[in-house]
């Protein structure tokens, strides 16, 4: 784990967030060394990733670790079926290769496209995380048996 | 008619003040599926607009997820088609994310936005 040499600031593991107000305030307290705008960026990315992980997990727990090393590193893990993880990888690869100006334009277009019931953010969650982290976001997928993958989103935030 | 919908762990406090033609949203807005979550509110707001000519929406949101950003944009567009709408967008002065989202809405909707730093 990349957190081996890092100090863990916050950890969550479970299948639901029982209290978002506690969740937010605990992360905010753990990141007090950072200025408020940076803390808010990390928290909003964390909310996007954890809600996606909870929505698309196929089994087992979702976990979130925020650790402190050279950067602030956020890791979110969930298990997903193969079809879902392939879909996610295609979406991530497409936006990860896209430049920041184009991502902002895509986000605007998604916002202005007709709403689809059952889809919440129209695909803007990952775009937001990539923009907030200035493209320092990775998707790592490991097969854990024939029928499911472990999904790991890793984001690095600079201190300033 | 005045009505208050209290905040929940994931949704803002919503004050519907028909006396002053103002609806305010205060707090966090992070439900997993806001379009479904606020379906009843949408109907209520559309009904309210039948008896009003002007309406101010005031947003003082600390956090909202991308689903809620989409929902709010859709709601603003729908109400703007029914009524003379103006927006008050309150943000903390170092909160670029909330401010920029408001600017994006202003640009996309063409509506009058009043930005208020706190």
| pLDDT at residue B97, as a whole number | 86
Residue that is written with structure tokens 């969550």 in the block: A12
| pLDDT at residue A2, as a whole number | 47
Residue that is written with structure tokens 């982290």 in the block: A133
User: Which of B28, B67, B104 faces A120 most closely, judged by CB atoms?
Assistant: B67
Residue pair B95/B117 in contact (Cβ under 8 Å)? The answer is no
Residue pair A117/A32 in contact (Cβ under 8 Å)? The answer is no
Contacts 24+ apart (CB under 8 A), B11-18: B11/B37, B12/B61, B14/B41, B16/B44, B16/B48, B18/B48, B18/B51, B18/B52
Residue B95: closest C-alpha in chain A = A37
| pLDDT at residue B57, as a whole number | 96
As given in the structure block, the two tokens for residue A23 are 């969740």
Kindly give the residue spans of alpha helices, DSSP state H, lying in A71-121: 82-96, 100-112
| pLDDT at residue A1, as a whole number | 43
**Mean pLDDT score, A27-45:** 94
Identify the band that residue A122 occupies on the pLDDT scale cut at 50, 70 and 90. Answer: low
Distance from CA of A117 to the nearest CA of B (A): 7
Contact A120 B97 (CB under 8 A): no
Chain A positions contacting chain B at CB under 8 Å are 19-21, 24, 35-37, 40-41, 43-44, 47-48, 51, 54-55, 108, 110-112, 115, 117-118, 120-122, 124-125, 128, 132
B113-117 and B54-64: which strand pairing?
unpaired
**Mean pLDDT score, A64-69:** 96
| pLDDT at residue B83, as a whole number | 93
CA dist B98 and B116 (Å) reads 11
Identify the band that residue A121 occupies on the pLDDT scale cut at 50, 70 and 90. Answer: low
- According to DSSP, residue A114 is labeled P
Q: What's the mean pLDDT when you consider all of chain B?
A: 93
Query: In chain A, which residues have their Cβ closer than 8 Å to the Cβ of B66?
Result: 48, 120-122, 124-125, 128
| pLDDT at residue B16, as a whole number | 94
Neighbours of A129 (CB within 10 A): 26
Contact A37 B32 (CB under 8 A): no
Residue pair B12/B28 in contact (Cβ under 8 Å)? The answer is yes
Residue pair B102/B89 in contact (Cβ under 8 Å)? The answer is yes
CA dist A24 and B84 (Å) reads 36
Name the strand (E) or helix (H) holding A130: helix A124-132
The string of pLDDT tens digits covering residues A2-16 is 455 679 999 999 999
Query: In chain A, which residues have their Cβ closer than 8 Å to the Cβ of B9?
Result: 19-21
Chains A, B: CB pairs < 8 Å: 76
State how far the alpha carbon of A132 is from the alpha carbons of A50, A127, B109, in Å.
Answer: 16, 9, 24
Name the strand (E) or helix (H) holding B100: helix B96-109
- Residue A65 in this model has a pLDDT that exceeds 90: yes
- Residue A149 in this model has a pLDDT that exceeds 60: yes
Strands laid side by side in the B54-64 sheet: B2-5, B13-17, B22-29, B54-64, B84-91, B113-117
Of B31, B32, B37, B66, which to mutate for an interface test with A (greatest number of A Cβ within 10 Å)?
B66
**Mean pLDDT score, B95-109:** 91
Query: In chain A, which residues have their Cβ closer than 8 Å to the Cβ of B36?
Result: 117-118
């Amino acid at each position: 784990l990349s957190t081996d040499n890092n100090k863990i600031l916050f950890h969550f593991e479970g299948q639901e967030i029982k209290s978002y107000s506690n969740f937010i305030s605990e992360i905010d307290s753990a990141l007090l060394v950072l200025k408020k705008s940076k803390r808010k960026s990390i928290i909003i990315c964390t909310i996007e990733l954890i809600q996606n992980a909870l929505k698309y997990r196929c089994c087992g727990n979702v976990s979130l670790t925020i650790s402190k090393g050279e950067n602030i590193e956020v890791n979110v893990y969930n298990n997903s079926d193969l079809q879902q993880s392939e879909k996610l990888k295609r979406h991530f690869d497409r936006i990860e290769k896209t430049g920041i100006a184009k991502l902002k334009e895509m986000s605007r277009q998604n916002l202005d496209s007709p709403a689809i019931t059952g889809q919440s953010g129209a695909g803007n969650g990952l775009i937001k995380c990539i923009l907030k982290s200035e493209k320092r976001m990775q998707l790592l997928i490991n097969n854990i048996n024939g029928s499911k993958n472990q999904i790991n989103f890793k984001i690095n935030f600079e201190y300033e | 008619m005045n009505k208050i919908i209290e905040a929940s762990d994931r949704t803002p406090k919503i004050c519907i003040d028909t006396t002053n033609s103002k609806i305010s949203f205060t707090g966090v807005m992070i439900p997993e599926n806001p379009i479904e979550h606020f379906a009843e509110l949408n109907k209520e707001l559309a009904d309210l607009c039948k008896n009003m000519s002007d309406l101010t929406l005031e947003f003082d949101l600390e956090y909202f997820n991308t689903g809620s950003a989409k929902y709010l944009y859709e709601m603003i567009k729908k109400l703007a088609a029914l009524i003379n709408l103006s927006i008050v967008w309150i943000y903390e002065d170092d909160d670029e994310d909330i401010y920029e989202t408001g600017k994006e809405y202003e640009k996309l909707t063409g509506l009058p936005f009043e930005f208020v730093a706190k």
